[in-house]
Amino acid sequence: MSTRATKFTVALAMALAAPHALANPVQSSPAQATPAPAAPATPLDYRARLPQDEVIYFVLPDRFENGDPTNDRGGLTGGRDKTGFDPTAKGFFHGGDLKGLTQRLDYVQSLGATAIWVGPVFKNKPVQGAPGHQSAGYHGYWITDFTQVDPHLGTNADFAALVSAAHGRGMKVYMDIIINHTADVIQYRECVGQRACPYRSRADYPYQRRLGPNGAAINPGFAGDDVRTADNFAKLVRNDYAYTPFVPAAERRVKVPAWLNDMRYYHNRGDTTYRNESSTMGDFVGLDDLMTENPRVVSGMIDIFGDWIDRYGIDGFRIDTARHVNPEFWAAFVPAMQARAAAKGIPNFHIFGEVSDHEVRPAVLAQHTIVDKLPAVLDFSFRQAVVDTVAGTRGTDAFEALFDGDALYAHGYDTAVTLPTFTGNHDDGRFATFVRTAFPKAGDDEVLARVMLSNAMLLTLRGVPTIYSGDEQGFASDGNDQDAREDMFASKVAVYNDNRLLGTASTTATAHFGRDNPLFRQTATLARLRTVTPALTRGRQMLRAREETPGLLAISRFDPVTNAEVLLAFNTSTTALTRQVEIGVDATAARTLAGAGCGTVAAPGSLTITLPPLGFAVCALTSPR
């Protein structure tokens, strides 16, 4: 073992052996003892919790646990191109379902999670794609029936049982929903046989001419899609203004509710470029893009998703591809969902949209809480700051730029504290993968130390920490998208099973629901610390120290009632450091809650911090008052 590797092993051992304070402070080492299962909150407690009180666990049901092998093929017959089922291929159904997730709720709760974000459960088109490029709707984003659970995942009764079981444990359930598009059913005559269909703009292909400005007059009296009245859209009769859309005979009634089969309710302008006008009007990789400007689509989607609230009493929505829907839609949809939830006795219904962005640019995210009026968005800027600094070499001043941007959100910090934060996911890839890509010569001990440092940031800084299933088991993907959607149950996918996991000698060829991986133990410890420490859930933040190179980041968080201070200190460099960090002048001592390095109060307003390489410390400051 190299000298560098030895440094990281020592640092990791110090972090694992540090004392941890929970509801009843105990001296224990996560490296020596598995945390006891979290005591379920009483069913009456969970509704009162604010969004920022949660620790979210995100799971794709197909990749979690197979509770009922009889539904693996979704009731379909034939090969994988018909059923979508092939447990050996990363792009097809593997057999996980809602019964399996329900059976594993004890595992999820033992990790310290208080809420489950369930990937889309709606009935999907089983298989899509041109010959040779086919894959299945295992992920849930190719919906045909918005009212039913996909048969591969179970039944509506299975979903009801999942929600009931979670609520019985005091856990919340968030649904992943899609409004921007449906499955790829609509085809274009001009693009038959082609893999892509270029976007055609409103200027080049106006609504009142067929196939271009020189075409035959159609849709007389239509005043444009910015006049969002039922009377105006009733005049949009023809849908062949940009392309000639059609639906194959076998799929003409495949969508539910039935109104979704009417091609007038789609943009039909070809593939999005993800920029400019096409961002909200183009087909997302060929998926049928709904005309969300149309009042019929607005009322239809309100009915669809309001019904899921009414039927199951779910606790929130994560909205897929939210940035690709016009803002006016959200201005109508969000209040309607909040009203339905309130009528169901759900006062803190959490709605957060996906606004994918891969730079530390809070303004890009914040505009969607102001212009779109979304209550919250997934915090991609947080993810990027952690990637840049812990899986990269950017200075810790990246977090200054991140948190200064909190003022830009609607309602400022009050909104920022509700943003779900994450370090990796099913689309972008796992954090361990980012580390290995950035530091290809790093040994597994250093990679593990960096992942643990990212976990410490995720579970202590502002926002709502979101854990992607498998991260706690040391999963390290080959890349993003399909490569980062490994099975938690024993996998048969060769490109998953050859991955080198962290904290274990096993592979994804065996089931991973154990509680002895150091990443599981660390996550469980920090998650429980967070949920019993109001400063870490609802507390305001104050930046105490940052550097323009890898090194110290120090942030104080304050109890919203007592104003008691908790200092968070992180070392993103590969050398140990000792610093004086500013604190409140009333503090006289520091108690280590997690990690290692909380020193003594050297003078009023100054605490000595000593952190190992890639180490962290959570310090509760005490004062005589």
> How does 216-236 read in b/e, with b if 16+ C-beta sit within 10 Å?
eebbeebeebeebeeebbeeb
340 shares its domain with 396: yes
Residue 300 is predicted with a pLDDT of 98
Residue 491 forms part of a structural domain: yes
- Contact assessment for residue 433 and residue 478, using Cβ atoms and an 8 Å cutoff: yes
Residue 28 forms part of a structural domain: no
Going from the C-alpha of 21 to that of each of 24, 69, 330, 399, 428, the distances in angstroms are 7, 42, 42, 26, 34
Selecting among 97, 145, 240, 320, the annotated active-site residue is 320
Residue-wise pLDDT for 423-447, tens only, equals 999 999 999 999 999 999 999 999 9
197 shares its domain with 300: no
- Contact assessment for residue 522 and residue 616, using Cβ atoms and an 8 Å cutoff: no
- Contact assessment for residue 512 and residue 27, using Cβ atoms and an 8 Å cutoff: no
**Average pLDDT score over residue span 288-313:** 98
Q: Token digits for 45? A: 């407690």
Domain count, the chain: 3
Selecting among 145, 176, 354, 486, the annotated active-site residue is 354
**Average pLDDT score over residue span 335-346:** 98
Residue 150 forms part of a structural domain: yes
Residue ending a domain, among 509, 531, 553, is: 531
491 shares its domain with 361: yes
- Lowest mean pLDDT of 36-40, 380-384, 409-413, 424-428, name the range: 36-40
Residue ending a domain, among 490, 508, 531, is: 531
pTM across the whole model: 0.94
Residue-wise pLDDT for 175-204, tens only, equals 999 999 999 999 999 999 888 899 999 999
Residue 16 forms part of a structural domain: no
At 130, is the pLDDT very low, low, confident or very high (cuts 50, 70, 90)? confident
206 shares its domain with 152: no
Residue-wise pLDDT for 277-290, tens only, equals 999 999 999 999 99
Residue-wise pLDDT for 264-277, tens only, equals 999 999 999 999 99
**Average pLDDT score over residue span 401-429:** 98
Residue-wise pLDDT for 7-26, tens only, equals 444 444 444 434 333 333 32
Distance CA 467, CA 451 (A): 12
Distance CA 3, CA 15 (A): 19
**CATH code of the domain in which 567 resides:** 2.60.40.1180
512 shares its domain with 526: yes
CA proximity to 361, closest of 420, 327, 401: 401
Distance CA 216, CA 531 (A): 64
384 shares its domain with 505: yes
- Lowest mean pLDDT of 8-17, 159-168, 385-394, name the range: 8-17
- Contact assessment for residue 449 and residue 8, using Cβ atoms and an 8 Å cutoff: yes
At 43, is the pLDDT very low, low, confident or very high (cuts 50, 70, 90)? low
Residue 11 is predicted with a pLDDT of 43
**pLDDT of 254 strictly over 80:** yes
Query: Does the active-site annotation cover 288?
Result: no
168 shares its domain with 78: yes
Distance CA 86, CA 266 (A): 32
Residue ending a domain, among 531, 562, 590, is: 531
Q: Token digits for 556? A: 């104080």
- Contact assessment for residue 529 and residue 594, using Cβ atoms and an 8 Å cutoff: yes
**Average pLDDT score over residue span 378-382:** 98
Distance CA 328, CA 229 (A): 12
395 shares its domain with 511: yes
Distance CA 8, CA 131 (A): 49
Residue 195 is predicted with a pLDDT of 82
Query: Does the active-site annotation cover 277?
Result: no
152 shares its domain with 236: no
Residue 130 forms part of a structural domain: yes
443 — alpha (psi -120 to 50), left (phi > 0) or beta? Answer: beta
- Contact assessment for residue 532 and residue 23, using Cβ atoms and an 8 Å cutoff: yes
Residue 386 is predicted with a pLDDT of 98
Task: Give the 3-state secondary structure percentages of the chain, helix then strand then coil, rounded to 5.
Answer: 35, 20, 50
Cα pseudo-dihedral 376, 379, 381, 387, rounded to 10: 180
Residue 25 is predicted with a pLDDT of 31
Q: Token digits for 398? A: 């990246």
Domain hosting 408: range is 51-183+293-531
Distance of CA 396 to the CA centre of its chain: 24
Residue 618 is predicted with a pLDDT of 98
Residue 7 forms part of a structural domain: no
477 shares its domain with 387: yes
Residue 19 forms part of a structural domain: no
DSSP of 186-255, one letter per residue?
-EEGGGTT-S--B---TTTS-TTBTTSTTS-B-STT---TTS--HHHHTT-----SSS-EE--GGGTT-S
Q: Are strands 115-118 and 56-59 parallel, antiparallel or unpaired?
A: parallel
- Contact assessment for residue 568 and residue 461, using Cβ atoms and an 8 Å cutoff: yes
**pLDDT of 6 strictly over 60:** no
**Average pLDDT score over residue span 131-160:** 97
439 shares its domain with 346: yes
**CATH code of the domain in which 472 resides:** 3.20.20.80
Residue 19 is predicted with a pLDDT of 35
365 shares its domain with 509: yes
Residue-wise pLDDT for 355-376, tens only, equals 999 999 999 999 999 999 999 9
Question: Strand runs (DSSP E) across 440-547, as ranges?
Answer: 464-468, 540-545
The whole-chain average pLDDT of the chain stands at 93
Residue-wise pLDDT for 113-127, tens only, equals 999 999 999 999 999
Residue 605 forms part of a structural domain: yes
